[in-house]
Chains A and B, each alone.
Chain A
């Protein structure tokens, strides 16, 4: 992502000593995404404040409640972390293909089918197996179907030239229809009356909470997935090849990189993570596969991935932040008599501000060590 700071020719400047300069260059390059993302969030919150104030409510009170509901107590922090778990995984579903230059927005479909596959495979086995192998099988099934779903978009993109954004979106709608058909029909638990769902998992097969906490294991699984993704992208040959292909697909092809396999592989892995998010929702939160699986985690994941600039490690804090906003929604609704869509408006505003901020990269001289030595040269490159 960032250039190797040591490769720059060291132009002597009066202000800094030579030994300090590489450190400062490294800091400057690392600080740019953090500072710009922070600025974008502040501007987004500012615009949202104007909107809230225009409706005659106090933005200050809203932000206070948001902090209180998301991070203000140990209870709310635990709630936040539980809600961040699926976002970690759906954000990876967007971020991994994005490193190859693909915009995949259909994570919702993989979540829904992953949850459904998890429930479908677990229910007949609960009488014969112990929980651990059931969880493993659930995870594998959900990852397989999620991987297949998103991998198909990647496959169609490379081998058929079908736009992956549209294909993944269509597949998401097809997945939701498929789930509705199955939980209304063959997989329906007759006891579920108004809200069709599969039979519930027995209590001992629920993915419990971590010791001493009220946060389910899905959070840890999400963190591990982010770390694995980071290692794959930054430290492996495949990740390196993917980054080259993401920078310039044609150049990668000329270099002889297996672009097709990279695209299918990365989209499949991405879908597998989103599928796993569905399995966690079923095994740790819902207890059965039902319509609540299509709760919009796939779409919030897009926001998380873009906010994190598709960096798997940056996804962790961003997912927690958005999990906190999500967790505070109920409190805002009750205390300020605002509709539940308030959080949606805030997310949309933040999303637009963050995407808008992309235009700021490279514009500030302070973040661009190449320009330090020539203080009177023109503005930033590109």
Chain B
């Protein structure tokens, strides 16, 4: 060993690095979807929001030179998408799952349309903190070069977990998600709560997109997202609508997604594309293992149409 070759240790290290690097968008998008679903509505359109957020963040960062302004722009755009979704779903007989698919198509289309001029220029990247400075191995240094958004995501998960249990807003959100009637009995308007929850969910999903375009992989193109936004729905089910569960599930998915590239880096190239499918297979298996035809999922908001 000459200080740079770490042999097979590269696999777990790459998975760890992948878990940290790939999971950040999952953390934001799943926390956002968790908030929306906790209010009793499902938003399947987060894939579109995420990609549009990536485009908006990149475009803003290119034009202003500030990546943080890019993140803010993405949040604003994401909240806008959430408000549209929430507004439309307020009307009777409108299917929120189908509206989500439509919003996804709309968001993707709009992002590709408006993002065409931003494929070439380079945007300033979001900063990261080199936690691996103690090591002489460049692989470890690279693996522990942790982006600020990852840390914010972890803090956010803990904060949401606390807020859901201990604050008035958390209570209001849970009541709306469990029963529209109970919310009305408390003098609350479930439609307004869901509208706001969908907007917050959209804003968070867009931050996940901003991470994609401004840090990893760190460029804007039409293939920037590989279904992270859609996976959020499955992640939230897996996480049982629990913020800390969302965090753990995101790390697990990030690790699973990094499996293919990690194995490839040590020379295992057969089945490369199948490893791409690992997170989806994982989700499906978990959903099959944990679902039941007779009882609703534990922890699920009762007013959520997905689990009825």
Within 8 Å CB of A347, what residues of B? 105, 109
Complex CA distance for A303 and B103, rounded to whole angstroms: 12
Main secondary structure of the interface of A (DSSP, over half): helix
Across the interface, which residues of A come within 8 angstroms of B137, CB to CB?
none
**B94 and A352 contacting across the interface, CB-CB below 8 Å:** no
Contact of A355 among B95, B111, B116, B292 (CB under 8 A): B95
Contact indicator per residue, chain A 69-106, by CB within 8 Å of chain B (1) or not (0): 00000000000000000000000000000000001010
- Which secondary structure dominates chain B's binding surface? helix
A361 CB to nearest B CB, Å: 7
B283 CB contacts on chain A under 8 angstroms:
166, 170
Bound form: Cα–Cα A180–B103 in Å: 28
A178 touches B (CB below 8 Å): yes
Which of A105, A159, A382 is most buried by chain B, counting CB atoms within 10 A of its CB? A105
A-B contact count (CB 8 A): 141
User: Are B106 and A352 within 8 A (Cβ)?
Assistant: yes
Q: How large is the interface on B (under 10, 10 to 19, 20 to 34, 35 or more residues)?
A: 35 or more
Of the listed stretches B14-22, B143-151, B195-203, B272-280, chain A binds B272-280
A6 to chain B, nearest CB (A): 27
Report the minimal beta-carbon distance from B193 to chain A, rounded to whole angstroms. Answer: 20
CA A265 to CA B82, docked complex, whole Å: 36
**Smallest CB gap from A163: residue in B:** B306
Q: Which of B272, B292, B307 contacts A181 (CB 8 A)?
A: B272
Q: How far is the CB of A252 from chain B (nearest CB, A)?
A: 15
Interface set, chain A 289-314, CB cutoff 8 A to B: 299, 302-303, 306
Complex Cα distance, B110 from A338, in Å, reads 12
- Residues on A with C-beta less than 8 A from B276 are 177, 180
Of chain B, the residue at the smallest CB distance from A344 is B109
- What distance in Å separates the Cβ of A313 from its nearest Cβ neighbour in chain B? 21
A174 touches B93 (CB 8 A): no
Residues of A within 8 A of B (CB): 103, 105, 156, 158-163, 165-167, 169-171, 173-174, 177-178, 180-181, 184-185, 299, 302-303, 306, 338-349, 351-352, 355-356, 358-359, 361, 382
Residues of B at under 8 Å CB distance from A? 44, 48, 84, 88, 91-95, 97-99, 101-103, 105-113, 116, 227, 230, 233-234, 237, 270-274, 276-277, 280-281, 283-284, 287-288, 291-294, 306-307
Enumerate 19 A-B pairs (CB-CB under 8 Å) in ascending A order.
A103-B95, A103-B98, A160-B291, A161-B293, A167-B284, A169-B230, A170-B283, A173-B280, A174-B284, A178-B273, A303-B105, A338-B113, A341-B116, A352-B106, A355-B94, A355-B98, A358-B94, A359-B94, A382-B93
